[in-house]
Structures are given as C-alpha cells and as structure tokens.
C-alpha cells in the first residue's frame, strides 16, 4: 500500500464480515493524507472481494474520527489556496471517504468515541450506525470558519430530519450517544460497540447476498421518490426471483431452519 500498511487495518471477525479500523489514535484518526491513502486502498481491496458480505468500520483509541486534517492550508503556497484549486483537491477527498455509499454490500459504523465534521459524514455514509456510550457527534463547521463538506447538507437531514440537522449544523454542539439514538442517528448504543456491530453484521451476512446488494441500490433509488422506487423494484424483485437463493429461502422457512444462501 502507498499509505502506511497499518494506518487502516483489515481483519475478519467472521468469515464474510470485514472490519476496517482507522488506526491513527495519536491524531484521533483525523483524515490525514496518510490515512486517506490507506483508506482508499483498503476500500478498493474490498470492493471486488467476493468474500465480503458486510463491512464494519471502527476507530482505534478513544475517538472514531476527528474529521478532515486541514493543516495543509497553513503549509500551502498562496497560489494554491484558491477556490478552484481547493475544489479540485476536495472533490476526490470527499468521494474517497464517502465510498461506503457506493460499495455493493452493507457497511456498519461502530462509533466508539467523538466523531466530528467529516468524521460524522463518514459515519453517515454507512448504512447503519451503532455508538458506544462515550460517542459524541458534532458538525462544528461554521464555528471553525468553513462551510460544511462531504455532502453533509444531504446526509444529515436524511438521517435525522431537517429541523434537527439545522440545529446540529448551526450550533455545532456535540450530540451524545443517547440523544443520537433517540433521533435515529444511530440504531443502538452498546458498551462494546465493535462487538455489537460485528454481531449485527454477522446476522446481515446470513441474508441472501444478491437480494441484499439489490436492496442497497434500491434504497439509493428511493431518494428519488415513489416512482423511482416502483420502477427499481419492478426490475430488482424479478431478478431476485430468478435466483436459486429464493428457493432456498422458501424451503428453509418451510423446514424451520436457517437458510444457506450461496449467492446464486
């Protein structure tokens, strides 16, 4: 890897469940160039890996992710600090860290501690989120002198509604794990949040893989409204009904046993 090999570690807590851990606790897992490069390479490594059915994302140390590292602004030449040049730099950065949205399998964030700014966007890009009691969530962009990034103006209202998103974005205040749970920002709170996320991931990994991949795309289509969902499902459900897995699922239900889906 061009990034340090240990900056984002890959482990396999279950046979079809991958765990990526942001592993720079000294800087609270801030999105440095090193971490960004390592994240990109790990994601590409997993994207086409047929073994993966679910991915869990966690942070090493007491923080999940402290957000973007903007220290390069102080070191850049004045000629490089223009809106156009920064835009050319930021768009690939955004897309790299939001890649969970485009992966063909579900992604679960195990938020173990503070997740701030772009780190919150990383968590929001995941399909499901679980939090440790010590987790907090904050989007203090305007209180740092900058606009939001990483599609925060879309992702946050999608997760918690427009009114609560406005409150988080305008005040920048940290939201506790319990409050985040009440708001629907996270699906649950657990003392060992990685273990909880892996348990959920293992259960998800037992679902029919083809149907799961189609569902992930279908949920994206749903953002475009009722008719888009209807058209997608009129295509996706027939695809799933032509697989062997549908016959295994029905037979397993009749026999009162867990299904054994084989992704075909």
Q: What is the CA radius of gyration of the chain?
A: 19
Q: Are residues 249 and 188 in the same domain?
A: no
State the helix-helix crossing angle for 162-171 and 152-160, rounded to 10 degrees. Answer: 130
Q: Is 202 buried (19+), middle (13-18) or exposed (0-12) by CB count in 10 A?
A: middle
* 2 is a domain residue: no
Q: Are residues 187 and 85 in the same domain?
A: yes
Residue 98, by phi and psi: left (phi above 0), alpha (psi -120 to 50) or beta?
alpha
* 1 is a domain residue: no
Sign of CA dihedral 26, 30, 36, 38: positive
Comparing C-alpha atoms, which of 208, 214, 204, 200 is closest to residue 131? 200
**pLDDT computed for residue 237 by the predictor:** 96
**pLDDT computed for residue 1 by the predictor:** 46
* 73 is a domain residue: yes
Comparing C-alpha atoms, which of 235, 231, 216 is closest to residue 102? 216
How many domains are contained in the chain? 2
Q: Are residues 158 and 234 in the same domain?
A: no
Q: Are residues 181 and 240 in the same domain?
A: no
* 31 is a domain residue: yes
Of 168, 189, 205, at which residue does a domain stop? 205
Q: Are residues 89 and 195 in the same domain?
A: yes
Residue 39: strand, helix, or coil = helix
**Cα separations (Å) of 234 from 40, 98, 241?**
34, 28, 11
* 63 is a domain residue: yes
* 36 is a domain residue: yes
Q: Are residues 139 and 217 in the same domain?
A: no
**Alpha helix segments (H runs only) across the chain:** 33-47, 72-75, 83-97, 118-125, 152-160, 162-171, 177-183, 193-205, 209-221, 226-241, 244-254
* 263 is a domain residue: no
Q: Are residues 221 and 196 in the same domain?
A: no
For 12, the token pair is: 């396999």
CATH code (residue 156) = 3.90.226.10
CA 53-59-61 angle, 5° bins: 145
**pLDDT computed for residue 112 by the predictor:** 97
* 261 is a domain residue: no
Q: Are residues 246 and 135 in the same domain?
A: no
User: Tens digit of pLDDT per residue, the chain (264 long)?
Assistant: 455 879 999 999 999 999 999 999 999 999 999 999 999 999 999 998 999 999 999 999 999 999 998 776 666 556 666 777 778 878 999 999 999 999 999 999 999 999 999 999 999 999 999 999 999 999 999 999 999 999 999 999 999 999 999 999 999 999 999 999 999 999 999 999 999 999 999 999 999 999 999 999 999 999 899 999 999 999 999 999 999 999 999 999 999 999 999 877
Q: Are residues 92 and 215 in the same domain?
A: no
Q: Are strands 136-138 and 175-176 parallel, antiparallel or unpaired?
A: antiparallel
Q: Are residues 41 and 144 in the same domain?
A: yes
**Cα separations (Å) of 102 from 68, 126, 178?**
20, 10, 29
**pLDDT computed for residue 78 by the predictor:** 61
Q: Are residues 147 and 58 in the same domain?
A: yes
Can you give the pTM of this predicted structure? Answer: 0.94
For residue 34, the enclosing domain spans 8-205
**pLDDT computed for residue 144 by the predictor:** 93
Residues constituting the chain: 264
**pLDDT computed for residue 76 by the predictor:** 57
Q: Are residues 69 and 132 in the same domain?
A: yes
């Amino acid at each position: 890897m061009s990034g340090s090999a240990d900056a984002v570690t890959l482990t396999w807590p279950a046979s079809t469940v991958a765990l990526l851990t942001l592993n720079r606790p000294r800087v609270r897992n801030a999105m440095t160039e090193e971490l960004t490069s390592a994240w990109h390479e790990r994601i590409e490594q997993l994207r086409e890996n047929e073994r993966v059915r679910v991915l869990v994302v966690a942070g090493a140390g007491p923080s999940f992710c402290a957000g973007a590292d903007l220290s390069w602004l102080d070191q850049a030449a004045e000629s490089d600090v223009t809106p156009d040049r920064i835009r050319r730099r930021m768009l690939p950065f955004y897309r790299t860290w939001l890649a969970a949205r485009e992966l063909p399998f579900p992604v679960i964030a195990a938020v173990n501690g503070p997740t701030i700014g772009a780190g919150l966007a990383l968590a929001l890009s995941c399909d499901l989120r679980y939090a440790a009691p010590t987790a907090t969530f904050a989007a203090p962009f305007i209180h740092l002198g900058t606009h939001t990034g990483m599609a925060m103006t879309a992702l946050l209202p999608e997760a918690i509604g427009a009114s609560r998103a406005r409150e988080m974005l305008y005040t920048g205040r940290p939201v506790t794990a319990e409050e985040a749970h009440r708001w629907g920002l996270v699906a649950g709170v657990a003392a060992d949040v990685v273990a909880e996320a892996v348990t959920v991931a293992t259960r998800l990994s037992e679902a029919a893989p083809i149907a799961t991949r189609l569902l992930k795309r279908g949920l994206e289509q749903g953002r475009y409204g009722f008719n888009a969902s209807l058209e997608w499902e009129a295509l996706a459900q027939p695809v799933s009904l032509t697989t062997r897995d549908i016959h295994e699922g029905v037979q397993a239900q009749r026999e009162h046993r867990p299904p054994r889906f084989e992704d075909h």
